[in-house]
Chains A and B, each alone.
Chain A
Amino acid sequence: MRALRIYYQVFFLSLWVLFFWLCAQERLRGYPVTWFLDSSALNALGALLASWNVAHWMWLGFLLLALTALVGRVFCGWLCPLGTVLHLASWLAEPRATATRIARNRWLPLQNIKYLLTVGLLAAAVLGVLQVGLFDPIALFARVTTVFFAPLATDANSFLRAGTLHRSFQGAVWWAVLFVAMLALNAWRPRFWCRYVCPLGALLGFASRWVLGAVTRDPQRCTTCGTCEAVCPAACSPSTLVKTHECFVCWNCIERCPERALSWQWIYARRGKSCAHVTNGRQTVPAGAVLSEPIRPGSETSVQQHRSFAGGYQDRLIPPATGPSLPRRRLLAAALAGVAWAVGVRLAGTTRPRGFPLRIRPPGALPENEFLARCLKCGLCMKICPTNVLQPALTEAGVEGFLTPILNMRIGYCELNCTLCGQVCPSGAIQRLTIAQKLGHPHGQPIKIGTAFFDRGRCLPWAMQRNCVVCQEVCPVSPKAIYTLDEQIVVRDGKRIVLHRPYVDPAQCIGCGLCQRECPVEDLPAIRVSAVGESRAGGSFYLSGET
């Protein structure tokens, strides 16, 4: 089974790579490249609580939750692509000495942090502030893949030769730093992220409280050699009563146990004489007997009711259905912290139109509050965007909008006949538009994502008395949003010349940014797009009609 598990891990990691390879303009043909993101129960539940909607394939997350409720966190051990990478890193960094390995795999109260993180994230989501994507392992790995691994894989050659990459992403280096740190921490504790941080693992831990099958131990066979602990990546204490909310069901302990004392068993009732066992993790004795070490509350101690049989047969130890042992007060504090976070980020006014000129959202993006209640910050839209214009927001959209997609017209522009970002958005934050819907054909208005404004102090015909109007030439809409008027002016030597001076017609401009991208005043273009007038905010600042 352990070998099977490794095959599964390799398969799903390969599927991950395949999906990202397919998530490109020239290859995407309706492939379900979002499946991993959909399967994250944290994304699905968070988006549901924030928006009361389960979009597209995101019901897969609830399927995973259901599966986990029955058989435990198999996702973490068998499916999670990030888990697989971290598993591999942990394996590579594994020390030789068994004693060291046992020490590193001991359960620590620190592992409870992830449960508190989950509670906080979901509490914020209830208030419409969806921040699960910051910590969701799938969204995080998708982001790192998009901004770091994919550009590197595509352009490794040119990078090695000339140090240049074809794509660019703002803030990408920090994702590389974070990812390296995540890998390095496995040397201290195997699968560090999964044990201590991962809020998806924690959600699945909550769901696996009543699992109907688990790793069980036969104390008659067990010699407490510690081999299971040495090979356990999850720090779930297989040598005592396995903590089902931590167990990845990875089969390491079962297959490495020299005494065959461990096995995965469905849990079902058998008749017999009742007998309670008390265990503190080092020893197991019938109830009433005295443990040589005291029972400490919240530690590895637990009491399990069993039936025993005539003849003194000692049963297997079945993990109790208790779930993570967290004081209710601590859970409440975590929820309150989530609420405080939600209130705090909303105080920045992120759902209001004022103050965010560079928060230019992709075409089909929902109104900001609806958008923020759905966006998982996964970056798939940025992966597929053919012009690279979609970028993870740093400060452009406020703290709440950190890492949500915005258009940076210095890097790219919004292609007129393209709606790919909406096609791969797993949560419907960006709607699936047809080209006709985007362009407003045959009737209706095109989707407008912003409006272009001239900076006359930098524009050549306005400031430098030179003809230029590249912006008018490239303007892709018809009729063109940029038009020129011929104006006669006097130049430095006193001659009169006629210039084509450009103007923007806000009624035609859709904010695509091609003018800004192509403007010859390259570093700070003389025509720039800001978000004002975007369709999703309902109505333009500009009204047609007699003034």
Chain B
Amino acid sequence: MTHGSENHPLVTRRALLKRAAGAVATASLAGLTGWLFHQRRLVPASHSAAEIPSFAVSGTEGMLVLVRGTSPAAMVAAALAELGGIARFIKPGDRVLIKPNCAFDRPAHFGATTSPEVLAEVVRQCRAAGAEVRVTDNPINNAEGCFVKSGLHDATKRAGGTVWLPTPALFGSARVGTAVIGPWEVLLAPLRWATKLIGVPTAKSHNLSRVSLAMKNWYGFLGHGRARLHQVIHDAIADLAAFITPTLVIIDGTRLLMTNGPTGGSLADVVPGNVIAAGTDQVALDALACTWLNVAPSEVGFIERSAQRGLGSPDWRALPHFKEVQV
């Protein structure tokens, strides 16, 4: 038994041990935290740009078919049949991403967006082939409003697909283009999810790029800041076409927005086209669809530049697999 002295405070051993444990734990936690996180993220990780894979099916290169008729569903079915059937492109279990032109909050009859009937048939065919189907676009106007008012939301749901509205979380940096674009925010999550990609644009005139068809349609994958690409629109579109290789593109010409594109807004701007084109050569498809809008392919900068970069052939008539069908 030791007697305490006046100079020494006394506590029980248990209380002291607890206290020391608390003090040492706090001190070490502080020290360890400072040490562990020191200069850990001084420079934020530079956004590495993802690569967008090619969605093309080998052996289907350079295909093009033109279908005339009045029933959109029958025309799509005939086009796919002429291309060798949907099974040639879509296998059971595929995850198919469909990109219509859903850029504006307008009913379909104004011709600014893809016809619901055409999209529905494409979705239906993919579902019949055993694939999961999602439809997405990053429109100018509010996305939900665009999908609902253009009728594309209902068309997709009825045909068995899902509408995938763009949210900030879906975007990521990807390498799109070398001429002007470079790494850019794109709808990366859907593009990563998909095993197949089908473009279903509508044929319309465009105030700056003359026409908006298969290649211009990929603008809808781009995120923030795409407005600045209008400064160099032809190179930008060619860049997009170089980095986005779809499984298939079907251009909807059932309605043609002849003037006041790409927004339209008056029925006077729209004429019935009664035509669609389907195929795998984006340059040929755009060159062909130009003629519906009374524009010569040689007048369209991005078609010329894509051809120069070897992305396809603007001389669509010369394609070995070109067919024309009437239904």
Contact = CB atoms under 8 A, between A and B. Distances in A.
Interface of A: 41, 44, 48, 51-56, 58-59, 61-63, 65-67, 69-70, 207, 209-212, 216, 218, 263, 265, 267-272, 274, 305-307, 309, 311, 313, 315-316, 318, 321, 366-367, 370, 428, 431, 538-543, 545-547
28 contacts: A53-B40, A53-B42, A55-B39, A63-B34, A66-B26, A210-B19, A216-B9, A265-B9, A267-B11, A268-B9, A269-B13, A270-B4, A305-B11, A305-B15, A307-B11, A307-B12, A309-B3, A309-B4, A315-B9, A315-B10, A316-B10, A321-B18, A321-B19, A366-B44, A539-B228, A540-B228, A546-B235, A547-B231
Given A270-B8, A272-B10, A316-B10, A48 B23 contact: no
Interface in B17-49: 18-24, 26-28, 30-31, 33-35, 37-44, 47
Contacts of A321: 15, 18-19, 22
Interface string B90-111: 0000000000000000000000
Given A307-B12, A321-B18, A543-B228, A316 B39 contact: no
B232 A546 contact: yes
A62 B30 contact: yes
Given A52-B41, A545-B235, 4 more contacts: A53-B39, A53-B40, A210-B21, A267-B16
Given A315-B9, A543-B228, A52 B44 contact: no
Contact of B7 (A55, A70, A209, A265): A265
Interface in B112-139: none
Contact of A542 (B7, B22, B228): B228
Contacts of A540: 228
B140 interface: no
B296 interface: no
A210 to B, nearest CB: 3
B267 interface: no
Q: Name the interface size band of chain B.
A: 35 or more
Contacts of A66: 26-28, 30-31
Contact of B1 (A65, A271, A313, A543): A271
B225 interface: yes
Contacts of B22: 209-210, 321
A311 B4 CA distance: 11
Contacts of B12: 269, 274, 305, 307
B30 A69 contact: yes
Contacts of B3: 309, 311, 313
A52 B37 contact: yes
Contacts of A51: 41
B229 interface: yes
A44 B232 CA distance: 46
B180 interface: yes
